[in-house]
Amino acid sequence: MSLISVNNLTFGYDGSLNNIFENVSFNIDTDWKLGLIGRNGKGKTTFLKLLQGKYEYRGTISKNVDVDYFPFEVTNKNRMAIEIVNEIAPNIEDWEIIKELNLLNSDTEILYRNFNLLSGGEQIKILLISLFLKENNFLLIDEPTNHLDIETRNNLVNYLEKKKGFILVSHDRNFLDKVVNHIISINNTNIEIQQGNFSSWKENKDRQDNFEIMQNERLQKDINKLEIASKNTAKWSNEVEKSKYKTSNSESTIDRGYLGHKSAKMMKKSKVMEQRIEKAIDEKSNLLKNVDRNDSLKIIPIESRKSPLILANNLQIKYNDKIIFSPVSFEVKNGDRIAIVGKNGIGKSSILKLIIGQEIQYNGEFKIANDLKISYVSQNTDYLKGNLKKFALDNKIDESIFKAMLFKIGFSKLDFDTKIEEMSEGQKKKVLIAKSISEQANIYIWDEPLNYIDILTREQIEDSILKYNPTLIFVEHDKIFVEKVATKIITIEK
């Protein structure tokens, strides 16, 4: 066992008004399996780069292990996979490589194919086993599950369960629950480490947030009552003090000493109340700093008078006249929320593209009702560019509603001035989701909408779908999202 010790870490990007981390201190046991969580833009990837020594910072990060980052950058992808393994982890025996691949339930023949010809899931497996085969290393695994189908994710779960000594960045709640034994959360004001998986962390977080919310409400009520009482007491004190100097025919009967004593007593009582107010305000200021907004997102679907909206009988997608999956039949009615599941590359996205009107070859019967208004979230974000104002204008959506949705899912006012092409992948995906839920549509078509999206935003999206019940067809590998949202599941098989 060894420690990675972080002391008084302070870091901010050049030109930024605020630091991402301010005097952060904690220790990490290098035998732990840590899940790193936090909202998009909170600095998860930045923290990993700091651990690698890629940025200058104030404070200290001390460690006596080598830190490696996944995904490893492969410079020449035209080589065989085994050559890349040997480059990353030299002096490793072939039997050790084969053993690791077996743990991932993967065929060893992929070692003897060119790396660039492997699927995304196969490339991930090659890079992971290579990095875990290195000695005395602590692995930083940055969002390995994006774009991976459920079967491949399960293989990764089984593999990582047998490993130790890593930090895993993931927004897949089911994946985190099965793999990690500690959570490191980047909050609004600090970094916190807890023992347990995501579910236990979430339970503790909700309990703490609810406690702080209740304390905040109680203190606010106390402050309001004390302010009223303090004003009344001060007013009474002033009136008593003034009465000492009133002149009348009965002036000789006024006990000025008594009135002065009474006035001083009332004023002292007022001062005590003011001190109690200041103490309550000070206590209140320490609450809610790490309580995230969980604002409700509003979707306004349009119910179509036609039924079914979509009908498919023995549908098969073709690539260059080659049929790629077994026939599927389904229909879509108002209020249906249909998840399309299956292995990567099997044609799930092609079904969505067929629905939105792209030229896709197919066999079988496929019908879609006329004049349907469709809102589409693409899997790809590479085409996004420009500012948010122009994006809203080009897509004919209300800019104020669009930006309100972005604010609710974690955008800051500074983010509104950032060009979309300069945003993180998570922020780009949020732009597409905010656009979609800002549109009124008969049917919403979402292709892997949650890639790179933080957990809190996923929960906000789930809640809004369950509340407003849009007609939705989606491809998504987040098991919890599918279980909570889908009313029907269509399984695509070879």
Task: Give the sign of the dihedral formed by CA 481, CA 484, CA 486, CA 491.
Answer: positive
Q: Which helix (H) or strand (E) holds 256?
A: helix 256-285
Mean pLDDT value across residues 323-346: 93
The rounded Cα 41 to chain-centroid distance in angstroms is 9
* Tokens standing for residue 313: 């009988």
- Tell me what pLDDT residue 115 has: 93
The rounded Cα 94 to chain-centroid distance in angstroms is 39
Dist CA 144 CA 115 (whole Å): 17
* Tokens standing for residue 151: 């079967």
- Tell me what pLDDT residue 230 has: 75
Q: List, for residues 108-141, the tens digit of each pLDDT value.
A: 999 999 999 988 888 999 999 999 998 888 999 9
Nearest to 343 by CA among 170, 152, 102: 152
- Tell me what pLDDT residue 270 has: 74
Dist CA 59 CA 10 (whole Å): 6
3-state SS class at 283: helix
* Tokens standing for residue 228: 């009223």
Q: Is 26 exposed, middle or buried (0-12, 13-18, 19+ CB in 10 A)?
A: middle
pLDDT at 354 > cutoff 90: yes
Supply φ then ψ for residue 74, to 5 degrees.
Answer: -95, 120
Nearest to 103 by CA among 177, 140, 155: 155
Q: Which helix (H) or strand (E) holds 83?
A: helix 81-88
Name the DSSP letter for residue 305: S
Dist CA 348 CA 204 (whole Å): 38
Q: Which residues contact 457 (CB under 8 A, 6 or more apart)?
A: 39, 40, 409, 410, 430, 433
CB-side neighbour CA atoms (13 Å) of 402: 19
E strand map for 143-275: 166-169, 182-186, 191-195
- Tell me what pLDDT residue 350 has: 94
Q: List, for residues 249-300, the tens digit of each pLDDT value.
A: 555 455 556 556 666 776 777 778 788 888 878 887 877 778 777 788 999 9
| Helix-helix angle 256-285:198-243, to 10 degrees | 160
